[in-house]
Structure 1
Amino acid sequence: MKTMKLEIVTPSGLIYEGEARMVTLPGKEGEFGVLPEHAALVSLLDTGVITVETADGKEIMIAINKGYVKVDENKVSCIVDGAVLINDEEGKLAERLEEAKSLLRSAQTSDVAIATAVSKVESIKKAY
């Protein structure tokens, strides 16, 4: 299956970089998915969770507060104000979920967007 490069950057530095089969992004007008060879676009991102299907089929979630995304045929670049990588590789899932919820609640956006994003993060906790 085809993949594309994904990078997520904050003012503090690179949060995530890797190959992805699909990326779901929280756009200002609603969630949208990006596959390899997607048409080029630039879009605003709202408070929410970026979902990444990696090249090896794993799912990674990254909570963000706001930013923008630039999509090319083989690359997705997200520039965001704040992000928390939600991942259980180091056994710190509970701590990262709390960081993610804190980041989302501090966002300067609509209450609906914040509630939706926090709900999504809390559902991750139930899945593990």
Structure 2
Amino acid sequence: MAMTIHVDVVSAEKSIFSGLAEFVAAPGVMGELGIYPRHAPLITRIKSGAIRLKLPDQVEEEVFFVSGGMLEIQPGVVTVLADVAMRGHDIDEAKALEAKAAAEEAMRNKSSEIDYARAQAELAEAVAQIATIEKLRKKSH
């Protein structure tokens, strides 16, 4: 049996996942993190993107979308505390594409730096959701 690590993915509203994984990939602010059991302790911020879990006895990876938050790694536990988290299959592609288009339009018609920064953040989140959907499509083919 492969070594595993306990993983909790929690959003501001609810627990999204709690269980064992053989490997975790997470979008850290400084780049993607690859986490195996007995990883050195670490706390870092996460950015919008996909959390991928390789579960024991399962060929397909579980994919979750997260936006903002913190990642804590202990040798036997990984905790993802995300501002927003959802299962990859629950992402509404049409809504993400609409949000991307609206954010791009807002960036073109900026009326202040605050509006521009908000539009940039919304654009980054929409692009990350679309990228998560694309990862799901690639793994199912």
- Per the normalisation by structure 1, the TM-score is 0.78
The AA in structure 2 aligned to 1:16 is: F
Cα drift, residue 100 of structure 1? 9.9
CA contact (8 A) 2:67 2:85 kept: yes
Structure 2 runs not aligned, ≥5 long: 104-117
| Paired positions, count | 119
Q: 1:5 to 1:64 in 2, by over 3 A?
A: same
The AA in structure 2 aligned to 1:79 is: L
> Larger % of strand: which?
1
Cα drift, residue 122 of structure 1? 2.2
Structure 1 runs not aligned, ≥5 long: 87-92
Please give the secondary structure, in 2, of the residue aligned with 1:46. Answer: coil
User: Any residues of structure 2 matched to 1:116-127 within 5 Å, and which?
Assistant: 118-127=130-139
User: Any residues of structure 2 matched to 1:19-38 within 5 Å, and which?
Assistant: 19-38=20-39
Percent identity over paired residues: 24
> Larger % of helix: which?
2
- Per the normalisation by structure 2, the TM-score is 0.71
The RMSD of aligned alpha carbons is 2.8
Q: 1:127 to 1:33 in 2, by over 3 A?
A: closer
Q: Counterparts of 2:42 and 2:10 in 1: how far apart (Å)? A: 18
2:75 aligned to which of 73, 76, 80: 73
